[in-house]
Amino acid sequence: MTTGFMTTVDTRLENRVFHIALNRPEKRNALNMQMCQELADAFDNAERDNAVGCILLSGNGGGFCSGMDLAEAREADPLRVMELQEKVFTVINRTRTPIVAAVHGPALAGGTGLAANAHILVAAPDAKFGMTEIRVGLWPVLVYRPVELAVGERRATELCLTGRLFGAEQALEYGLVTEIHANPLERGLEIASGIAASSPVALSAGLDYLHQIRTRNWEQVGRIGWHTREALTRGADFEEGTRAFLEKRKPEWPSLRPKPAS
């Protein structure tokens, strides 16, 4: 993957961590169509690249994301807006690459939904969240699913109905935030680097397992878990991981080794 600069999204790959930074600070990183397209492309490119072990998501400037760009949304094709935002706000459902979000300042409406797509969310003490769409006559249908996944149906419904703002401590209590840190980007990078050092095969299989079991019954979940575990224990990464553990050294994952030329 080539790293570099896109107009509304800043990206770079370093030590298997692919950093995606929202880059419309003059607009409080509001999500316009261009940013949604570039975000979707960045996530999809990271998902396809074996050099990426973890995605780190953040926002440049004074806050994470203020939500949808309402000025543009009034003029844009609503179906096209829905299509692009659907790709962005459902990334947790289709990615098998771990996502860590580092949030500071406002993360409102679509910003809350985008942050909720992370598997791990580190927030600054000044972070503010809110499902504020009801204030402008909308219901957050696109961002509801990842928020509900994080906080549960009853809390997500209450947040949608009231449109109220809540801080990092409440977000931690609700389960949206996993950790509060004075420097969320620094802490997020530390977590992402640790994840990226793990077996790519195990990470991908684990997230796929979580995706599969969400709508299954107890017996089905057991069968899916059995097959997932069997596949992993038969794999070369598990063999190397257990050997490295016994030999008290860092594993060298076979799944990361270059394939021999044919």
| 14 among known catalytic residues | no
β-strands 4-5, 9-14 pairing: antiparallel
| Distance from C-alpha of 35 to C-alpha of 24, rounded to nearest angstrom | 9
In the numeric block, which tokens belong to residue 59?
């926002």
Of these residues, 83, 133, 240, 252, which one is catalytic? 133
153-164: burial string, b at 16+ Cβ within 10 Å, e else: eebbeebbeebe
In the numeric block, which tokens belong to residue 166?
């809540």
Tell me the catalytic residues. 133
